[in-house]
C-alpha cells in the first residue's frame, strides 16, 4: 500500500510533504537532506478558530516567524533568503483552510 500525500514540494534545498489524512501536519520535512523542525520556521494554527465547528478548523495555516535566528541558519547551513524560501514553501503546503478531518 502506498502512502498518499496531500501536498508535496521538493527541491535540492528542501523536501516538504503533508499527510493525506492530516493535511495540517508534515510526514516529511527535510532541509539539506536532514530532518527539520517546523518550529524553527514558524507554527501551524487555526487563525479563525472562534468561527469553526467543533473538532473542525476554519482557517488552518502556517504562520512564519518574522526572521530566522543565527542558530537556525547555522543548524541547517542556510542563508536568510533560503530560510524565507522554505517558510514560503511551508506556507503553501500547510495552507489547509477550512477542514473537518478531525471530526
pLDDT beyond 80 at 15: yes
Give the mean model confidence (pLDDT) for residues 8-13: 95
Give the mean model confidence (pLDDT) for residues 2-23: 83
Give the mean model confidence (pLDDT) for residues 3-12: 78
pTM (2 d.p.): 0.86
What are 50's three cell numbers?
Answer: 472562534
User: Is residue 27 classed as helix, strand or coil in its secondary structure?
Assistant: strand
pLDDT beyond 70 at 27: yes
pLDDT beyond 50 at 21: yes
Beta bridge partners of 82: none
- Where are the chain's structural domains? 5-98
If you ran DSSP here, which 8-state letter would residue 28 be given?
E
Predicted local distance difference test score (pLDDT) of residue 103? 59
Amino acid at each position: 500500500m502506498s502512502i498518499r500525500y496531500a501536498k508535496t514540494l521538493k527541491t535540492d534545498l528542501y523536501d516538504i510533504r503533508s499527510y493525506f489524512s492530516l493535511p495540517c501536519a508534515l510526514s516529511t520535512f527535510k532541509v539539506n537532506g536532514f530532518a527539520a523542525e517546523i518550529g524553527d520556521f514558524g507554527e501551524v494554527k487555526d487563525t479563525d478558530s472562534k468561527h469553526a465547528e467543533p473538532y473542525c478548523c476554519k482557517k488552518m495555516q502556517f504562520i512564519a516567524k518574522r526572521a530566522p535566528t543565527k542558530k537556525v541558519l547555522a543548524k541547517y547551513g542556510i542563508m536568510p533568503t533560503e530560510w524565507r524560501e522554505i517558510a514560503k514553501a511551508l506556507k503553501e503546503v500547510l495552507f489547509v483552510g477550512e477542514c473537518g478531518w478531525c471530526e
